[in-house]
Amino acid sequence: MADDVARIVVAGHVDHGKSTLIGRLMLDLGLLHQSKIDEVIASSARRGTEPEWSYVLDSLQEERDQAITIDTTRVWFTHRERRYTIIDAPGHRQFLANMLSGASDADAAVLVVDAAAGIGEQTLRHAYLLAFLGITHVIVALNKIDLLDDPRRRFAELAAELRAALHRTPPAAIVPVSASRGENVVLRAASTPWYDGPTIAETIEAIRRVPAPLERAFRFDVQDVYRRGNERVVVGIVTGGAIAQGAEVLLLPAGVRVRAERLVRWPERDTPVAWAGESVGIVLDGDRFLGRGDALVAYGVPARAARGIALETFWLAAQAPATGERLRIKRGTQDVSVTVESVAAVYDIETAREGVAGPTAQYNIVRLAVRADTPLVFDRRADNPHGARTVLLRGDRVVAVGFTTAEVAETQSAALPVAQAEREARNGHRAAIVWLTGLSGAGKSTLARAAERQLFARGAAVAVVDGDELRAGLTADLGFSDADRSENVRRAAAVAGALASAGAIVLVALIAPFAADRAAARASAQHPFVEVYVSAALEACERRDPKGLYRRAREGTLAAFTGLESRYDVPAQPDLVLDTSRVPLEEAVGALVAFVDERTRPLRTENTNAPTPA
């Protein structure tokens, strides 16, 4: 099929002829323009060499001067109505990170081995890394076969050694080639009559594509949240599958089921569906708490969320990982600090032995467990290798790349208290105490309960501390003297603080008439504390009088009533004022919810102007 793209990485030891093989393949398939052919011939002549077809790929002058490949180079072409991507991966030990990057999305690999030099250190390492990356279709090109005195015998010896080295990924074919001469690359060589297998061109034609991201389960990494008027647009990249308008998906790590009400592309237009690889904005139902690092995933094929994960990594740093050290983990838009809990083993690729972490960790496979400060969203390698890819950093320096393999259960950390950051990450918002103060009948409890309902519907952890309810229980022993009123506020503040410590947004509806008591409540708070003055004219409060308190106070049966016989200190600098005698209830509730949203959103950047997402 025309859209059946085959992605092939070409790997191997430095100087074994990877780039030459690719250049020769392109020449013999007729893919090079005559000007490029002339350029290669002229460039080689200036250096006094035969035409060096690796120059077709060496885009950096430094590579030509040193005769090595530093960066991964990709070549796209069509052959017999099928498209191919050839990835020339660096072979030098210093550039293994580039090799891993280049090979990470390949369907198959061509491992180039110098038949004269034999299997080198990097050959073994690359062979193991191909298996590590999950590339199961491997073709071996035994290059420079023309330099051997007895090529048939040497081919048989090396083929046996290679099959042993590639036991994790048995080679689909081992082909004797001369890349510089074009023997068995596209055209069959007369110099190897004893070989009756396929040419390199024939082996790559047999490659079958692995599922593309489009064919995987839906995954969406949240990059940011843009606010446009009253609408919040969640922006990011679809990394797997597709999403349609109206689809129900799972928000992680919160674990909340949400609906994609609209899909937005810029500038200012909707789309019915977005596919893997596309940047898109998603308007979710309700007003959800989320930000960068969160993920939307297919509800039927969910990813996982956990703080403890096991990793299998290729370790790049000279310093091995140490238990207890702090690292950073990056996956998609997630960037989270982690602690190394254990280093299970280091597999030395050259000796094929497993041991403890030490000097042999660099350029070998390290299996370790880490615990993140906040929950990580991930796929297991066995379920979705693409979603399991992970990078570890020390500071800003990459020390390892690899895959998440499993969730790690809580061990010794199970006895540690739950950190506030963990609660905020799970809830999707910060904890806070929102203190609503005002005269009796101003509407404090009504506003608090209505706001609680809206916030709860959006998935927030929210609670109300109501003065009347406290008077019926916790503070039933208190009267209405100044001292008792102060103690009432102190107890209410303590309850609110305990709820906030559990991660909740706490709406306190309490008259709290004295400014000094409210100031003391603010000073004692261990969480963000905001004061909302629910303002209403005394006449309006008396007209409402839902409990008949004003009437009783006027009749003399209720002494020291606030606003009449006892003073009320109007807040001098409240964080928000809601005048319920002038503003309709629905509008006042909306203003309160917006205010709470602003003060409790996670500590992540949220843009107010939406440029086209990258």
Q: What is the tens place of the pLDDT at every residue in 301-339?
A: 878 888 899 999 988 888 989 888 999 999 888 998 999
Q: What is the mean pLDDT of the chain?
A: 83
The set of long-range contacts for 150-157, using a CB threshold of 8 Å and a minimum separation of 24, is 151/115, 151/176, 151/191, 151/192, 152/192, 152/194, 154/115, 155/115, 155/195
> pLDDT-based confidence at 296, cuts 50/70/90?
very high
Q: What is the tens place of the pLDDT at every residue in 187-224?
A: 999 899 999 999 999 998 888 877 666 778 899 999 98
Q: What pLDDT does residue 452 have?
A: 96
Tokens (6 digits) for 306 = 């956990």
Residues 37 and 127 in one domain: yes
Q: What pLDDT does residue 529 have?
A: 94
What residues form DSSP beta bridges with 343? 368
Number of domains in the chain: 4
8-state DSSP, 68: S
Q: What is the tens place of the pLDDT at every residue in 530-549?
A: 999 999 888 888 888 877 77
Q: Which of 200, 209, 206 is nearest to 4 (CA)?
A: 209
Last residue of a domain, one of 183, 205, 227: 205
Residues 108 and 19 in one domain: yes
Task: Note whether 219 and 239 are within 8 A (CB).
Answer: yes
Write out the residue range of the structural domain in which residue 84 sits.
Answer: 6-205
| pLDDT > 50? residue 33 | yes
Residues 147 and 217 in one domain: no
8-state DSSP, 215: G
Percentage of the chain surpassing pLDDT 70? Answer: 87
- CA pair distance 58, 39, nearest whole angstrom: 13
Q: What pLDDT does residue 604 have?
A: 43
Residues 366 and 485 in one domain: no
Q: What is the tens place of the pLDDT at every residue in 506-517?
A: 999 999 999 999
> pLDDT-based confidence at 101, cuts 50/70/90?
low
- CA pair distance 252, 256, nearest whole angstrom: 7
Q: What is the CATH number of the domain that holds 334?
A: 2.40.30.10
Q: What is the tens place of the pLDDT at every residue in 271-283?
A: 899 998 888 999 9
Residues 143 and 35 in one domain: yes
Task: Note whether 482 and 503 are within 8 A (CB).
Answer: no
Q: What pLDDT does residue 347 have?
A: 79
* Sheet-wide strand order for 432-437: 462-466, 505-509, 432-437, 529-535, 576-579
> pLDDT-based confidence at 69, cuts 50/70/90?
very low
Residues 197 and 243 in one domain: no
| pLDDT > 80? residue 265 | yes
- CA pair distance 85, 83, nearest whole angstrom: 7
Residues 191 and 217 in one domain: no
Q: What pLDDT does residue 195 have?
A: 95
| pLDDT > 50? residue 482 | yes
Task: Identify whether 333 is part of a domain.
Answer: yes
Q: Which of 334, 402, 399, 339 is nearest to 369 (CA)?
A: 339
More confident residue, 490 or 418: 490
Residues 223 and 138 in one domain: no
Pairing of strands 279-284, 295-298: unpaired
Which segment, 13-17, 92-96, 380-384, is predicted with the most confidence on average?
Answer: 380-384
Q: What is the tens place of the pLDDT at every residue in 391-408?
A: 999 988 889 888 899 988
Residues 484 and 440 in one domain: yes
Q: What pLDDT does residue 59 have?
A: 45
Q: What is the mean pLDDT of residues 109-124?
A: 83
Task: Note whether 513 and 568 are within 8 A (CB).
Answer: yes
Residues 445 and 556 in one domain: yes
| pLDDT > 50? residue 495 | yes
Residues 6 or more apart whose CB falls under 8 angstroms from that of 385 comprise 134, 403
> pLDDT-based confidence at 247, cuts 50/70/90?
very high
| pLDDT > 80? residue 488 | yes
Q: What pLDDT does residue 132 have?
A: 79
Task: Identify whether 418 is part of a domain.
Answer: no
Q: What is the tens place of the pLDDT at every residue in 370-391?
A: 998 888 899 988 888 878 888 9
Q: Which residues of 403-427 are buried (b: 16+ CB within 10 A; e: fewer)?
A: bbbbebeeeeeeeeeeebebbbbbb
Q: What is the tens place of the pLDDT at every residue in 145-187?
A: 999 989 999 999 999 988 888 887 889 999 999 988 999 999 9
User: pTM, whole model, 2 decimals?
Assistant: 0.56
- CA pair distance 262, 584, nearest whole angstrom: 30
Residues 200 and 218 in one domain: no
3-state secondary structure of 348: strand
Residues 439 and 573 in one domain: yes
Tokens (6 digits) for 398 = 């990459």
What residues form DSSP beta bridges with 145? none
Q: What pLDDT does residue 211 have?
A: 67
Q: What is the mean pLDDT of residues 586-600?
A: 92
Q: What pLDDT does residue 480 have?
A: 84
